[in-house]
Structure 1
Amino acid sequence: MSTIKIPELSLVVLMGATGSGKSTFAKKHFKPTEIVSSDTCRGLVSDDENNQAASSDAFALARYVVGLRLKRGLLTVVDATNVQEEARRDWIKLAREYHVLPVAIIINVPEKVCVERNKLRSDRNMGPHVIPQHISQLKRSFKKLKYEGFRHIIELRSQEEVDTVAGIIRDPLYNNKKQETGPLDIIGDVHGCYDELTQLLTSLGYTDNGTTWLHPAGRKAVFAGDLVDRGPKIPEVLKLVMSMTKAGAAYCVPGNHDVKLMRWLNGKNVQPKHGLEQSIAQLSNETPEFREEVKRFIDGLVSHYMFDDGKLVVAHAGLKENMQGRGSGAVREFCLYGETTGEIDEFGLPIRYNWASEYKGKATVVYGHTPVPQAQWLNNTIDIDTGCVFGGSLTALRYPERELISVKAAQVYCEPVRPLDYKAPVAELNLQHENDHVLDIADFTGKQIVETQYGNNITIREENAIAALEVMSRFAINPKWLIYLPPTMSPSKTSILDDYLEFPTEAFEYYKENGAGKVVCQEKHMGSRAVVIVGKDEDAIRKAFGIIDEGIGTVYTRTGRAFFNEKATEQALLQRLNIALTVSGFYERFNTDWVCLDTELMPWSAKAQALLETQYAAVGSAATHALAEVCEVLGQFARRSGAAEELIDTYQARQAEAGLFVEAYQRYCWPVNSLEDYKLAPFHILATEGKQWTTENHEWHMEEIKRVCLADPAILVATPYRVVDLDDAASVQATTDWWLTLTEKGGEGMVVKPYNFITTNKKGLIQPAIKIRGREYLRIIYGPEYTESQNISRLKARGLGAKRGLAFREFALGVEGLKRFTAKEPLRRVHQCVFGVLAMESEPVDPRL
């Protein structure tokens, strides 16, 4: 028994005369979905698999299906005779188009075997000349296959050989390191800068054991190519990298300079310029054995690598999405050189086409090749060639942390032809915000499916996406600010107590039942939800958000609209917050120049004035005046007749309830005549430079925010909170009493959250927060008379399923959006999540919940 090895991603072209057993072989060794049969395609287009007149349409269908499968990276088998060169030409063309390796498996059994098999098929009637003609054409093809482009050719010369094939082994491509999840340290172009390389490795935590460099925690280095040329210690760099790769402590991809050196070592006619002359001179002092070892090392390097289940790609000059994990000459060429526009710049160098500006792949692509002053993120790609040999720095990207570590070059070893700080023409602009000025509407219309880390895939319906787009396009602030929209918050299960619609007991029971043994209870401020972004200065905002001339930050509502009508008021408030952040040492502790906060901004009337005037105040005023007059008239009537006493009691009760309603909303309203009449209560530190803080527990958030608030208590409010052990009855009761005290004084209530910001159980994510609103506050929501027995009984039947589901999904989207922004993903990816939250707000859910 024998096995056949083929590349895991390939186009397998079966070849053989009719009756040779190709279809039987295919069915035995490949999945049914992998096989594209010409006979089946004839049947699909004509209802007759033997209808040769339908062959043209059948092969058009086959080519279409094969193309779609190769586009999706699926091994595909073509089951047809394929004995003619023109028949094979289309398959070779498709393989090249999708950068997969073409494989020929030839079933070359004797003519008599084919004849006997065809006699057994009553549905097939072919002339006696067909099989001999096929066999003749097959034999003439043998010498041509390699030149046609087939990289693997397997011939089975007899039925015995066919029968002894035990299976097909699918060899992973050399670039497939998807099982390597890291952590990894990807290092940019070294160009012989050995001293800086060892310094960088030391900074990354690697140590020299005398033989090679290793990391004590098992991290591995990935060298992005161009180890040689221009620099002062090229042999030393080669020895270090070769020893690390040999020891399994590093991977390396080739750079164009490395390949050019290999060609010179192979005796090719290569011009010794662009730094190659330094490599030649320095290697001339090494032994012939070492030079031979270098030649074999470079020759064995793979064009690119895919790591971490395809989430990370490393290639010297970068790589388009449709080339990742593929193997072809075009792929290798792109990995080494990228693309050029065909134009030459003022320095005589080719202008490179900025493939990254159009990149929309899911994998993060890390590359070098084009030196830049600082590592530059663009559309989930990053150029980490920071021109060490030109006096810049040597940079590494830590993965999955996405942290950049750099060491400054000791000197300028080679004067660059084009200055490092040269502002490239439009074709080479490589800053994320330069490509985020205009968003493509196609990315936000139609049905959307958003992948999230904690909520699986979340579907946004087309009609909801249209509603969100309408709001964002007409009313939203500069979209570059919109990195997060807060989720809705679900109330708890309805209380079993007669006089309460909401009570802490049900929230505590929910979290205990779902595995959260400890919760944090925060006082709920009656203000308006506001997202606040503030930076040290305008330059910090420009670098982080690509926004110019809009101040040091912004304050926006949970629907993405500007919170303040007057920019001056907004910026004055942000300046106060900025000073508090500076004085409290926040920027230094968090190693950032900006922060995004989730807050409550008070008073409620500052943003809800129109709502107060048209809804609450109107109801309160009408009820107060009307009921006062009714009670007065009923009083006059009662003095003449005792029959009105019960009616008077009813309307006096309603008058009292109307008074409570007015008192309830007036507690949250006060005049704003100066900046200090505003109160800002932050409760989440959402994100800072390169980091989202959903990994920290809520107690940590409260304590860090308190330090900032103490720096300016005139406008910043540190939210009171309690940590509750749900297994401690005394702790639960004390917090329930605290809630009762808050609400009896007119407070809105509290928010109960699991101790950890993100908490999951076997079923997945549990509610991130549950609000427990006070009895009198709910009077604002449900109306003055909601506490009457007949009304509260009806309200207790409210359904919470839709609201809870919405809270889950919006929370997952919000966290995902922050993750994408801090990971330097393009704005369209961040806005998938932001639009998703806004779209879900158009779901038909009771707004009172």
Structure 2
Amino acid sequence: MSTRVEIPRLALVVLIGVSGSGKSTFAADHFAPFETISSDFCRGLVSGDENDQASSADAFDVLAYIAGKRLAAGRLTVVDATNVTRETRRQFVQLARDHDVLPVAVVLDTPVGTAIERNASRQSRDFGARVVKRQHDQLRRSLKGLGKEGFRTVHVLTPEQAADAEIIRTRLLNDRRDDHGPFDVIGDVHGCRSELESLLDKLGYRIIRDVQGRAVDAEHPDGRRALFLGDLVDRGPDTPGVLRLAMGMTAAGHAVAITGNHEHKLVRALAPRRGRSGKQQPNTAHGLQQTLDQLAAEPAEFVDRVTTWCRDLIAHLVLDDGKLVVAHAGLKESYHGRASGRVRSFALYGDTTGEIDEFGLPVRLPWAEDYRGSATVLYGHTPVPDAVWLNNTLCLDTGCVFGGRLTALRYPENEIVDVPAEQVWCEPAKPFGSVQRTGDDLQLGDVLGRRVIETVQHGRITIGEDQAAGAFEVMTRFALHPRWLGYLPPTMAPAAATDRDDHLEFPDTAFAEYADAGVRSVICEEKHMGSRAVIMVCADEAAARRRFGDQDERGGGRTGVVHTRTGRAFAGPAQTEELLGRLRAAIGAAGLWQQLGADWLLLDAEILPWSLKADALIREQYAATGAAGRMMLPAVRDRLRAAADRGLDLGGLDSRIDRRLAAIDDFSAAYRPYQWPTDGWGGVQVAPFQLLASGSTDGAATYETRDHGWHLELADRLHAVDAELVRSTRRLSVRTDDPDSVAAGIDWWTELTATGGEGMVVKPFPNLTRGSKGLVQPGLKVRGRQYLRLIYGPDYLEPVELARLKKRNLGHKRSLALREYALGLESLRRLTTDEPLWRVHETVFAVLALESDPVDPRL
């Protein structure tokens, strides 16, 4: 029969035994290769010789460092060293404490003669019998004291037991990852039995009563379970009734409970432990004496059950594959699933400074404001007026006993359910609800440094330190407040160069690329030559405040924002409100608020004319270039003609000047359609081409899976009610597997660009599309032959220049376009699922960071 050796799944296992006791063999037989860290191996790392005892100090520093990194990552770690002295073991006990894991000792109690014999057979390991005997004596003297040294579990194995040992990896009591709920998580009850029964009834539970009419259990018809966050006792009118119901539900499997600080004090009062100065009785303030008085009227058997039940409650639970963590006072991420005194203290009392405030209550640090974990943390302890999400945490203590409400959260639905208190049962020592945090605080660590961001659509995307630094200045100096920046639009890649001699870009390559990716249906959208804008428009000021908070000097208007690709406000607050007012009216007249069930919309759009934002650029660069060419080239041409009249062979130079003059005229003609006079918003047009997201108090949604026809139809409805402001987008659907349809698409583009259009964007008609190689480019721009003069210069069509441009490398640009697109979708997902502000901002910031990548801006 094998010897069972139980070890927690997360622990620091310290192997103890003399040289030659078989520790390395035991470790190799029972643990994975990377789980074990050998002191001999670390000696080899630092000195090149595993037996170099002079390097032991450095070797153990390396060992402790590696072990610490593993423990911080939540991985079981085994230390393979002799560890026969208390001094050696002390550092590992402390290491376990530092990482809030349990230290476990596994002692290989090998007879000294056997160990000496084994060492003698290995010349490189033969330290002599004297050394082994000394180690053995040190081990024998310390065996009985291992528990007092701090080892939670000690296993002492003879050679025979070690040979047939079976390692059993046990879960910690707080590890309930395989329990997926669903749960109804209930905040601090504090003896309010009647309100608890009302809440359970509202949640759909059927309350079961005993012959005396007392609630002793509650069962949900759908198999849901209540999850009590502690502090069931004290302050309220009927603590025994609350306990009777909660204990009955947990016994029947209809509820789960964790301890609160008030249960902890109650156990100490009911079953005091004797200390050096007698019985350690807790302070009976804050309702404990009231509970003791109420329990005094109950049978002794019931009080004994209460004592045992409360004593056996644990401080926190990790549930649903680690997605949910519950602790009475909350729990920071590094403590999730850990076991130590300070973890328990944090779970019971929160992060305190040790000071007392003017109300006689502990001064608590706002741990939730700094929380950045992926797990949802539900807690109570500190009453708040409303249950409000803060960085993926939620406090469910809404002060029922103080006259507030008793609140529950349906998990995983994240639906809040509450009932009002029947009266004020206890006057609070501190003004109830005097502080309400917003969760708007961001940290440098949220965006700076090298970061890896997980996206649903494109996996992991890495943001380099230099990229983040470049974006940081723009974001902090010029951008709107992050709460308004739910999305930044991605860059767009051009189509591959065409084989046609007289074009750089042509629709044939875009159609062919999508056909190769398996996209059969595409939409060609007119490319508006304006300024890209993201527009957040809310139905009214109340909706804006409710979703995006109060505005400050970095805000936009009162009911939304209009911002550029870099997050800058497109106009001042007053001008922004004027534009939003007109858009809001158009949205209402088109019936979109009602159709979408929304009170805010997020639109991707182009604002025209280009000259509205680029007037200085046009005057100082484009117009100046055209004027210089028209001034200089005619004089050169006249001189050349005079030379030709004298019989000089010009070798075609005169005809080249003629071509350059024609190119200058075409260059100037290229930008003129994109400028016209405006007065305020008079003459300005908005061309929305995609609805990114919408939301209301009932929820929010994104629309990347709605086809582009649906999106443009919404824009057409806005155009129909306000054609002066909203510009429609011309488009054509093309089948990439139909030559006639492809030819029609080419003809449409040719006609569009011949009449002064910039070009078109070709997109997969279904919108978000995945192919055999993953995410497909969301759009490829095909710009017109004349328009490209603005990008590459008046003479770019000269054969030598055009041949060079056709070799341009598009790989990096396309990679950026895909990554930014995926990050944009991720930011919208996080925005509409009410993830913390820092999580939304992380992805938005990443788009701006990628924009700092060195890539040819003409692409």
- TM-score for the superposition, normalised by structure 2: 0.85
Is 1:225 aligned to 2:230, yes or no?
A: yes
Pairing 1:349–2:325 present: no
**Match of 1:336, SS?**
helix
> Which of 513, 518, 522 is the matching residue for 2:516?
513
Q: Tell me the SS of whatever aligns to 2:756.
A: coil
Q: Is the 8 A contact 2:467 2:852 kept in 1?
A: yes
For the pair 1:759 / 2:793, whether they are aligned, the reply is no
Post-superposition CA distance 1:168-205 (Å, at most 9, x none): 2222323334455666654433445566657666777x
2:84 and 2:32 map into 1 onto residues whose CA distance is 23
Measure how far apart 1:106 and its partner are: 1.4
SS in 1 for 2:144: coil
After superposition, give the CA deviation of every residue in 1:710-735 in whole Å (9 maximum; x if it has no partner).
55443233444556665677766665
TM-superposition CA deviations, 1:385-439 (whole Å, max 9, x none): 22234333344445566x4423341533424414665434xxxx73212x34xx5
What is residue 89 of structure 1 aligned with on the other side? Answer: 90
TM-superposed deviation, 1:112? 2.2
Q: Distance in 2 between matches of 1:144 and 1:130?
A: 22
Query: Kindly tell me: are residues 275 and 730 of structure 1, through their superposed partners in 2, closer, same or farther at Cα, counting changes over 3 Å?
Result: farther
1:432 aligns with 2:442: no
% identical equivalent positions: 49
Q: In the aligned structure 1, how far is the partner of 2:458 from the partner of 2:727? A: 32
1:697 aligns with 2:706: yes
The structural deviation recorded for 1:6 is 0.5
In 2 relative to 1, CA 187–497 (structure 1 residues): closer, same or farther, beyond 3 Å?
Answer: farther
CA–CA separation in structure 1 for the residues paired with 2:221 and 2:520: 38
What secondary structure is seen at the aligned counterpart in 1 of 2:330? coil
Equivalent AA in structure 2 for residue 370 of structure 1 = T
Structure 1 counterpart of 2:187: 188
The answer to whether residue 675 in structure 2 is matched with residue 672 in structure 1 is no
Q: Note the 1:235-254 alignment, pairs <5 A.
A: 251-254=256-259
- Cα distance in structure 1, aligned partners of 2:195 and 2:768: 41
CA distance in 2, matches of 1:682, 1:47: 67
State which of 489, 511, 528 in structure 1 corresponds to 2:531.
Answer: 528
Kindly state the Cα deviation for residue 781 of structure 1 after the two structures are TM-superposed. 2.7
Between Structure 1 and Structure 2, how many residues are aligned? 835
Paired residues for 1:534-683 under 5 Å = 534-536=537-539, 541=544, 544-545=548-549, 547-548=551-552, 550=555, 551-552=557-558, 553-564=560-571, 566-581=572-587, 594-624=600-630, 655-683=661-689
Distance 2:787 2:242 in 1: 70
Offset of residue 276 of structure 1: 4.7
Q: Secondary structure at the match of 1:142?
A: helix
Give, in angstroms, the shift of residue 448 of structure 1. 3.6
Match of 1:771 in 2: 781
Could you tell me how far 1:525 is from its partner in structure 2?
1.6
Report the Cα offset of residue 806 of structure 1. 1.0
Match runs of 1:781-796 below 5 Å: 781-787=791-797, 792-796=802-806
* Superposition deviation, residue 800 in structure 1: 1.8
Alignment of 1:375 onto 2:376:
no
Q: Displacement of 1:487 after TM fit?
A: 0.9
Which shows bigger deviation, 369-378 or 715-724?
Answer: 715-724
| CA apart distance, 1:807 | 0.2
What residue is the counterpart of 2:425 in the other structure? 414
CA distance in 2 between partners of 1:220 and 1:509 (Å): 56
The Cα shift of 1:153 comes to 1.6
What is the Cα deviation at residue 105 of structure 1?
0.9
Q: Which amino acid aligns with 2:551?
A: I
Residue 570 of structure 1 aligns with an amino acid whose one-letter code is T
- Residues 179 and 744 (structure 1), Cα distance of their counterparts in 2 relative to 1, 3 Å cut: farther
| Structure 1 residues 101 and 346: alpha-carbon distance in aligned structure 2, compared to 1, 3 A threshold | same
Corresponding residue for residue 333 of structure 2: 321
| Shift in CA distance, 606/494, structure 1 to aligned 2, threshold 3 Å | same
Secondary structure of the 1:123 match is: helix
Alpha-carbon displacement from aligned partner over 1:454-473 (angstroms, at most 9, x marks no partner): 33232333433333334344
Paired residue for 2:276? none
The 5 Å alignment of 1:461-472 reads 461-472=464-475
1:798-836 deviation line (CA, Å, top 9, x unaligned): 332121111011122223334445555565554443343
Question: Does the 8 Å contact 1:389/1:409 carry over to 2?
Answer: no
Amino acid aligned to 1:161: Q
Q: 1:501 to 1:61 in 2, by over 3 A?
A: closer
Taking a change above 3 Å as real, the CA distance of residues 245 and 454 of structure 1, as seen in their structure-2 partners, is farther
- Corresponding residue number in structure 2 for 1:805: 815
Q: Quote the residue 2:213 is aligned against.
A: none
Give the 3 Å change call, closer, same or farther, for CA 286–501 of structure 1 in structure 2. Answer: farther
**What residue is the counterpart of 2:160 in the other structure?**
160
Map 1:35-74; keep pairs closer than 5 Å.
35-74=36-75
Mapping of residues 295-314 of structure 1, within 5 Å: 297-314=309-326
Q: 1:666 and 1:398, CA in 2 relative to 1: closer, same or farther beyond 3 A? A: farther
SS at the partner of 2:6?
Answer: strand
Q: Which residue of 2 aligns with 1:12?
A: 13
* CA distance 1:649–1:81, change in 2 (3 Å): closer
Q: The residue matched to 2:15 in structure 1 has which SS?
A: strand
What amino acid maps onto 2:768 in structure 1? I
User: What is the distance in 1 between the residues matched to 2:399 and 2:743?
Assistant: 63
- C-alpha deviation, 1:662, in angstroms: 2.9
Deviation at 1:641, TM superposition (A): 11
Contact 2:525–2:729 (8 Å) recurs in 1: yes
Report deviation, 1:31.
2.6
Instruction: Assess, with a 3 A threshold, how the Cα gap between structure 1 residues 728 and 308 changes in structure 2: closer, same or farther.
Output: farther
Q: CA offsets per residue over residues 118-159 of structure 1, 9 Å max, x none?
A: 322323455645444444443343332222222212111x32
Contact 1:196–1:407 (Cα < 8 Å) also in 2: no
Q: Is the 8 A contact 2:178 2:320 kept in 1?
A: yes
The residue number in structure 2 matching 1:79 is: 80
Contact 2:702/2:829, CA 8 A, preserved across alignment: no
Determine helix, strand or coil for the equivalent of 1:844.
coil
In structure 2, what is the equivalent of residue 332 of structure 1? Answer: 344
Aligned-pair distance for 1:645? 14
Q: What is the identity, as a one-letter code, of the residue corresponding to 2:315?
A: S
1:162 maps to amino acid: A
| AA at the equivalent of 1:548 | D
Q: Per-residue displacement from partner, 1:632-672 (whole Å, max 9, x unpaired)?
A: 89999999999999988776665555444333321111101
SS in 1 for 2:27: helix
Change (3 A) 1:822 1:347: farther
Equivalent-residue separation in structure 2 for 1:642 and 1:39 (angstroms): 89
SS at the partner of 1:469?
A: helix
Kept in 2, the 8 Å contact 1:106–1:154? The answer is yes
Quote the residue 2:260 is aligned against: 255
Shift of 1:97: 1.5
Shift of 1:12: 0.9
**Structure 2 Cα separation of the partners of residues 236 and 521 of structure 1:** 69
Deviation at 1:11, TM superposition (A): 0.9
Answer with 827-836 or 674-683: which moved more.
Answer: 827-836
Shift of 1:592: 5.8
Alpha-carbon distance in structure 2 between the residues aligned to 1:713 and 1:248? 63
CA distance in 2, matches of 1:718, 1:260: 69
- Structure 2 regions of 5+ residues with no counterpart? 209-216, 274-280
Higher mean displacement: 45-54 or 9-18: 45-54
In structure 2, how many angstroms separate the alpha carbons of the residues matched to 1:236 and 1:704?
Answer: 57
Q: Report what 1:359 is aligned to.
A: 371
Q: 1:223 to 1:695 in 2, by over 3 A?
A: farther
Contact 2:199 2:419 in 1 (8 A): no
1:174 equivalenced with 2:181 (yes/no): no
Equivalent residue, structure 2, for 1:100 = 101
Cα distance in 2, alignment partners of residues 46 and 478 from structure 1: 54
